[in-house]
Amino acid sequence: MTTYRAQVRVWLKPSVFDPQGNAVEKALLTLGFAGIEEVRIGKSMEFLVTADNQESAEAMVDRACRDVLCNPVMEMYTFTLEARQEA
Amino acid sequence: MTTYRAQVRVWLKPSVFDPQGNAVEKALLTLGFAGIEEVRIGKSMEFLVTADNQESAEAMVDRACRDVLCNPVMEMYTFTLEARQEA
């Protein structure tokens, strides 16, 4: 078995309005950060995955994203996997 | 002036308990994702920065992280900058 470190990022789809990003953008503008635009805010997740090989680890993370971590109607996700050490 | 795409990730410091990550970990376990552990959840932010050069863009993003985007008591941040096209 191998342990992998997964890094998942979940974002609102470009077509979906991002109220949080919009609020942060206005706050930054008010505080003098004039050069910052198009702020989008998402979720970052990191966890360990123990699996037989890279392929089954990827399958597990992909399924976890689709079923639990991401709302497929409004969000999209990307993830990376890095092998750590033999479990 | 150059436009840069900034990607910021904000995390709870390792010493801080992550209730959200803990809840997601339990939910994943309940749903049959036995191989997933140590779930940590943070924020991802993406935005455009217009500045004279890479250095001043980095300074602006760093200041925005320290002053607005991250709570230095409990959180830590990392960011990357990618030059886009001349503004």
Give CA separation, A14 vs A17, A18, B41, in Å. Answer: 8, 9, 22
Residue B49: which of A11, A35, A48 has the nearest Cβ? A35
Alpha carbon of residue A51 to chain centroid: 21
pLDDT in tens, A44-57: 999 999 999 999 99
Are the beta carbons of A44 and B47 separated by less than 8 Å?
no
Domain that holds residue A24: 2-86
Residue B12 near chain A (CB below 8 Å): no
Tracing tokens 């360990």 back to the chain, one arrives at A48
* Alpha helices (H) in B1-87, listed in sequence order: 19-30, 54-64
DSSP E strands: which ranges in A1-87? 2-12, 36-51, 75-86
Residue A36: which of B27, B36, B49 has the nearest Cβ? B49
Give the rounded percent of residues in chain A with a pLDDT score beyond 70. 97
Here the CATH number for the domain that contains residue A18 is: 3.30.1280.10
Tally of structural domains, chain A? 1
Per-residue pLDDT tens, chain B, 87 aa: give them: 899 999 999 999 999 999 999 999 999 999 999 899 999 999 999 999 999 999 999 999 999 999 999 999 999 999 999 998 654
Complex confidence, ipTM: 0.84
Q: Which of B86, B85, B84, B87 is nearest to B5 (CA)?
A: B84
CA angle B77, B49, B60 (to 5 degrees): 55
